Structure 1
Amino acid sequence: MKNLGICCALLMFVFFSCGDSNEKKEEKRQNQEEVISSDKKKDEATKTILFFGNSLTAGLGLESDETFPALIQEKIDSLNLDYRVINAGLSGETTAAGKNRINWVLKQNVDVFVLELGANDGLRGIALEETRENLQAIIDIVREKNPETEIILAGMQIPPNMGQEYTSEFRNIFPELAEKNNVHIIPFLLENVAGKPELNQQDGIHPTAEGQEIVAKNVWEILAPIVKEENYQE
């Protein structure tokens, strides 16, 4: 009888263990299906949002899914909007380098173009007129490629290391270009992030994962009306 009791206990253990294992396998299978479905949805999206920028866009020091373009994709997916996000950020990129790279990036069709360049120019003290001309050239090239592309210019500010006059004029480049070209503008990409040690990495320049979440909110505030309206028109 004692042996019989042990056998029954073992059978019950195996039964529940198998059940638990099957549940975990089923949960894993469902999770995999969700990932596959999400990736398939992105591949089948008919519209594209391209983020063209430097290390702030590329997410220097972070995982790819922690960058603000990736967070924007998550938001878009949650709303079932027909957009695929492309992160074309490149660390160290200046406006001059961006101007040289833009034609290669625009080989694909782009519906919304987010231009995030200029910070490296400012930190290096590049002539303000050069920065302005390069940004204008990039906007012109995007418009020439597709006049219907919605353009968003990310405003940027820099520390006053280069002097108050340079800093002020640098900040004004972005709203002035936005008004001149009738494009959308994010007033300051790093609003509520810049200057806050707890939201930046050790270099004090690049946002942490938490900082990127705030940056994504700054971007979404301007981007949301564009993608929702376009989706509604469909």
Structure 2
Amino acid sequence: MWLPIRAWAAAAPGAAKTVLVVGDSLSAEYGIARGTGWVPLLGARLAQRYPNYRIVNTSISGDTTRGGLARLPALLTRDQPAVVVLELGANDALRGLSLDATEQNLRAMARRSLHAGARVLIVGMQIPPNYGRDYAQRFMQVFPEVARSEHAALVPFLLEGIAADRSLFQADGLHPVASAQPRLMENVWRALEPLLQTP
């Protein structure tokens, strides 16, 4: 389902640095109230601990790595981010798209972000083995491979700590409920905070 949302931003007055989130429905608050997703929660954490940073969320439900790559150049020009968080790839796998293409797209996004002067955080995902064990294993490896080759930071698995608990997901079994979002935020925060401290 393609449900574009408006960019969400939270910043202290005079904030000079942007954390740009380019993601899909897992970052776009699909099926939950606005302001309860992990990205707004991350924005609140930044406001408390790193008020010189702000969050800009450009995530779109249903987006793929190809879509993110197409959108990224304009976002880099517009927002001039200090950090780019790439949370894409799940929809590539759900559609059975070429993982070589997924990897190439993620790598191109990382390189463009780095070339624009941003630090990069790759957010990893996993899919159930019913998609095919080899495909699922290869998909899981895409994210650390790109992070390693492009010298980017990595969240190994966005849904770490909730993936096995069905009560933390909406009826579709794919999207976490609001009560699970703080855990997602913490998973991202552990990898993001060192980037905020980098000169």
Q: TM-score, normalising length from structure 1?
A: 0.77
Residues 188 and 80 of structure 1, relative CA distance in 2, 3 Å threshold? closer
Q: What amino acid sits opposite 1:139 in the alignment?
A: A
1:122-172 Cα offsets, whole Å, 9 max, x none, are 1111111011111111112212222xx110000110111221001001100
Q: For 1:51, what is the secondary structure of its paired residue?
A: strand
* Percentage of pairs with the same residue: 37
In structure 2, the partner of 1:226 is 195
Please state how far the C-alpha of 1:43 moved relative to its aligned partner: 4.2
In structure 1, the partner of 2:67 is 97
Q: For 1:152, what is the secondary structure of its paired residue?
A: strand
In structure 1, the partner of 2:4 is none
In structure 2, the partner of 1:111 is 82
Aligned runs of 1:66-215 on 2, under 5 Å?
66-106=36-76, 107-146=78-117, 149-215=118-184
Q: Structure 1 residue aligned with 2:32, among 51, 54, 62? A: 62
Q: For 1:48, what is the secondary structure of its paired residue?
A: strand
Q: What amino acid sits opposite 1:144 in the alignment?
A: H
Please state how far the C-alpha of 1:197 moved relative to its aligned partner: 1.5
Contact 1:195 1:204 in 2 (8 A): no
Bigger proportion of residues as strand: 2
Contact 1:57 1:67 in 2 (8 A): yes
> Distance in 1 between the 2:52 and 2:126 partners?
32
Please state how far the C-alpha of 1:179 moved relative to its aligned partner: 0.8
Please state how far the C-alpha of 1:80 moved relative to its aligned partner: 4.7
Contact 2:83 2:121 in 1 (8 A): yes
Q: Does 1:45 align with 2:35?
A: no
Bigger proportion of residues as helix: 1
Please state how far the C-alpha of 1:194 moved relative to its aligned partner: 1.7
> Distance in 1 between the 2:174 and 2:52 partners?
33
Q: What amino acid sits opposite 1:96 in the alignment?
A: R
CA radius of gyration, larger in: 1
> Distance in 2 between the 1:42 and 1:62 partners?
25
> Distance in 1 between the 2:163 and 2:65 partners?
21
Unaligned runs of 5+ in 2: 1-9
Q: State the number of aligned residues.
A: 189
Q: For 1:66, what is the secondary structure of its paired residue?
A: coil
> Distance in 2 between the 1:74 and 1:179 partners?
29
Q: For 1:58, what is the secondary structure of its paired residue?
A: coil
> Distance in 1 between the 2:37 and 2:186 partners?
12
Contact 2:12 2:51 in 1 (8 A): no
Give me the CA root mean square deviation.
1.4
Contact 1:43 1:84 in 2 (8 A): no
Q: Which has the higher contact order (CA 8 A, sep 6+)?
A: 2
Q: TM-score, normalising length from structure 2?
A: 0.90
> Distance in 2 between the 1:143 and 1:222 partners?
17
> Distance in 2 between the 1:71 and 1:215 partners?
9
